[in-house]
Structure 1
Amino acid sequence: MPVAILATAMTMGAAAANSKYAGIVIDAKTGKTLYANDADELRYPASLTKMMTLYMVFEALEARSIRLDTRIVFSANAAKEPPTKLGVPAGKSITVEQAIYALVTKSANDASTAVAEHLGGSEAKFARMMTAKARSLGMSRTTFRNAHGLPNSKQVTTARDMARLGIALREHYPRYYKYFATRSFKFGGARMSNHNRLLGVVRGVDGIKTGYTRASGFNLVSSVIDRDRSIVAVVMGGRTGASRNAQMKDLIARYLPKASTRGGGNLIARGAPSAVAIAAVELPKIGPVPALRHKASARMALAYAAPSPVVGRQALAKSLAEQKIAIPSPAPAITPSTAAAAPEQAIDPVTTASTGLTDGWMIQIGAMPDRNAAVALLSRAQGAGGGALSGAEPFTMAYNKDDQKLYRARFGGFDGQSAATRACKTLEKKGFACWATAN
């Protein structure tokens, strides 16, 4: 038996013999499970919890209830959290962006608690928001009790749920997902390195998160995009950080070549619970920011609802009303009755990709009658665009044409016309339609 195959077999065998171990590999283009070992058994997430904390931060940024430069004040409760931590004194503050870097790289527990208290009023209330969000994403076996992942016997998840969250972060917030690739972060004169040692070592790895407590063992969620294949892999319960990393490397080497080169992605929206099922989730209704919380939950439900006469906005509103969950009117709204007065380039109220890039040079690769189809097109283009799209940010824009709502699929953030034109030429060679525009 070749040495490489023997080493892989030994590593896989050792993982299987570990009672804490659970693992899964998901094809991020098709949703197919390529590998699973106890993937639906309950495990402790440890600092993988911070993936959901960050999801909630990104959602708040997208809703514009906070900004990257918003200050987050550390309470005495946040400041006293045990390491790993930033060590910010009570009463002092950091920016939202510094908090993101702190969670991604140092996995700072004090910053996690400060974020939870800022967004939810208290960490307990924020944990209930996290759990409700998990349910809306289809993470049926996950329960959160805190924002950092420090030991709590009731804070549980599964490898499959963590893979689903990893995919959701990629799909819903491409503008902010790039933070997970941060190798180091300078704070207070000290440079903090990312705990994810696979970044820059294993080809295609662009995040996501590590975690460890004595009860959980060593956990790792990895996102891998290499050429036209993409996977999300999870290893939970490793005996050591080194053995966990070795197991992850083996999973990537073994299953990335088996991933599909075709598929629309957008797996979370496609496989999410129905609008009625989401409406049935018992959402927390306490805390100082219920309007944002309920708005975000309703927005998620709208994003998942199929654009059909059967399950549309009216049907969703009815089902939400039956559960006594308020559904806000999106702004700006585009409906058949207001189409004539609606601005042609109104921002899509349920888009989860970036909606802030309305200035400067951008490219458009299509317009779809369904937002999910537009997001899927962007995902395929991003995989094919390579370096030409490395600094670009995908987003959709809704507009009305002949009483029909369409969704433009665009990339923004180009440094001038020449960069946008070069990106178009690259995509055209890959079979995509493309044109550059300054507005």
Structure 2
Amino acid sequence: MFVLGLLFGLGGPSAWAGNPVLVVDAASGAILHQDRADQRWYPASLAKLMTLYLVFEALDDGRLKLDSPLPVSQQAAAQPAVRLGLRAGASITVAEAIAALATVSSNDVAVVLAEALAGTEARFAVRMTARAAALGMTDTAYRNASGLPDAAQVTTARDQAILARRLLQDFPRHYPLFATRSARYRGRTLQNHNGLLGRYPGTDGLKTGFTCAAGYNIVASAVRADRRLIAVVLGANSRAGRDAQVSRLLDTGFAAPRAAADAPALAMLEQRPEGLLLAAQGVVGRSGCERGRAVQAAVVWPIESWGVLLGIYAERSQAQRAVRHARAQLGGALRAGRPLLLERDMEHGTSWKALLIGYRHDNVGAVCLRLRARGLECVAQAPVVLNLPGYARR
């Protein structure tokens, strides 16, 4: 579009080529720049923006109250990192849960909220997808409340901008929560994962996300004078690269003349191009950011068996101990699981996944029942999960 070329000068769209990006004027909905905005992508923890949208709705219509205690189920407590470390049978208030979700993106808290509103996380995911469709997010589907890997859980940069804009419009009373740089939870300080807060002038939200398949995602909003922009970056290669990319988008958007944001020649957020050929090609994601290393025997992908996730640890030695300890609690055929450690990039540094693989669909449940009975974490992993793009190096 010629008008876009005038606004963005010599740099043009190629400055952000390679991964989906978009920047939009929040008031008018005019798109100031986009590249692959309709390419389906894995949301990672950006899924929690929709979880919070439904929580804010429940607060406003009285179904939830900030001081209400919410029970922590076994399913919630068993969620992998990043998590708050909630124990099954404990409770957390709605206010504490919202603060933890917005700052440190806790997966266990996401499940607590989902179960409080819908009974099960699966039913909550159906509600998330239905709400997305009602908001005009026609290329988004949710399968869980946290954004943990699921091949069918997808979104686009355009859809995430639509959701961010609706959070601003529909919940002005709750939106300032996204600007919280730290929160206290029972003696602990929770630091917000959004590195733009306090660094990029005017930034006051919204959310970051990372999985190996998704790469580094962010939806950000910033204000200068009385003008607000929303920027989305999906699939950046690093935290620093993501922050630099979204900063460039915001800089260029704010540099554009205000009149340009209202120009009829500019595309609007809700106006989708015909065909959507990129979306028709399927989901594109990153791969290769996890490097699989077996503790004993070599593991070859694709993995055809079921596995169990025992936890995610800061050090390899911790993951090794977790595997040894878990196997010591198992007897007979259940002890035949093969150890697997995966070194993995996370939002705040490297971590190690500890798994046992080699189980069948009809005995993996018994493994988790045995381990949970002994106070150990255990999350069953189907082959489709173990073989997700980026879950481990091929």
TM-score range, shorter chain: 0.5 to 0.7
Q: Does the 8 A contact of 1:29 with 1:262 survive in 2?
A: no
2:197 maps to what in 1?
Answer: 199
Q: Which runs of 5+ in 2 are unaligned?
A: 1-7, 263-267, 272-394
AA of the residue aligned to 1:151: P
1:167 maps to what in 2?
Answer: 165
2:185 maps to what in 1?
Answer: 187
Deviation at 1:30, TM superposition (A): 1.1
AA of the residue aligned to 2:186: G
Match of 1:25 among 23, 26, 47: 23
Deviation at 1:187, TM superposition (A): 1.4
Q: Does the 8 A contact of 2:158 with 2:269 survive in 1?
A: no
User: Are 1:62 and 2:76 counterparts?
Assistant: no
The SS at the match of 1:185 is strand
Deviation at 1:224, TM superposition (A): 1.1
2:92 maps to what in 1?
Answer: 94
1:103 maps to what in 2?
Answer: 101
AA of the residue aligned to 2:56: F
User: Where in structure 1 do 4 or more consecutive aligned residues deviate above 2 Å?
Assistant: 8-18, 259-264, 270-273
Q: Does the 8 A contact of 2:48 with 2:105 survive in 1?
A: yes
The SS at the match of 1:130 is helix
2:80 maps to what in 1?
Answer: 82
Q: Does the 8 A contact of 2:70 with 2:116 survive in 1?
A: yes
2:37 maps to what in 1?
Answer: 39
Deviation at 1:204, TM superposition (A): 1.1
The SS at the match of 1:175 is coil
AA of the residue aligned to 1:39: A
Say how many residue pairs are matched.
Answer: 259
TM-score by length of 1: 0.56
AA of the residue aligned to 2:48: K
TM-aligned CA distance change 1:110 to 1:259, over 3 Å: farther
TM-score by length of 2: 0.62
Q: Does the 8 A contact of 1:67 with 1:96 survive in 2?
A: yes
Q: Give the CA RMSD over aligned residues.
A: 2.5
Identity percentage over the alignment?
45
Q: Does the 8 A contact of 2:162 with 2:269 survive in 1?
A: no
The SS at the match of 2:27 is coil
The SS at the match of 1:174 is coil
Q: Does the 8 A contact of 2:97 with 2:109 survive in 1?
A: yes
Deviation at 1:257, TM superposition (A): 2.6
2:374 maps to what in 1?
Answer: none
Q: Does the 8 A contact of 2:83 with 2:109 survive in 1?
A: yes
Deviation at 1:211, TM superposition (A): 0.2
Q: Does the 8 A contact of 1:229 with 1:259 survive in 2?
A: no
Deviation at 1:10, TM superposition (A): 12
Once the two structures are superposed, residues 315-372 of structure 1 have per-residue CA deviations (whole angstroms, 9 ceiling, x without a partner) of xxxxxxxxxxxxxxxxxxxxxxxxxxxxxxxxxxxxxxxxxxxxxxxxxxxxxxxxxx
1:73 maps to what in 2?
Answer: 71
AA of the residue aligned to 1:252: L
TM-aligned CA distance change 1:203 to 1:113, over 3 Å: same
The SS at the match of 1:25 is strand
Once the two structures are superposed, residues 284-341 of structure 1 have per-residue CA deviations (whole angstroms, 9 ceiling, x without a partner) of xxxxxxxxxxxxxxxxxxxxxxxxxxxxxxxxxxxxxxxxxxxxxxxxxxxxxxxxxx
The SS at the match of 1:113 is helix
Q: Which has the higher contact order (CA 8 A, sep 6+)?
A: 2
Q: Return the alpha-carbon distance in structure 1 between the equivalents of residues 116 and 147 of structure 2.
A: 18
1:126 maps to what in 2?
Answer: 124
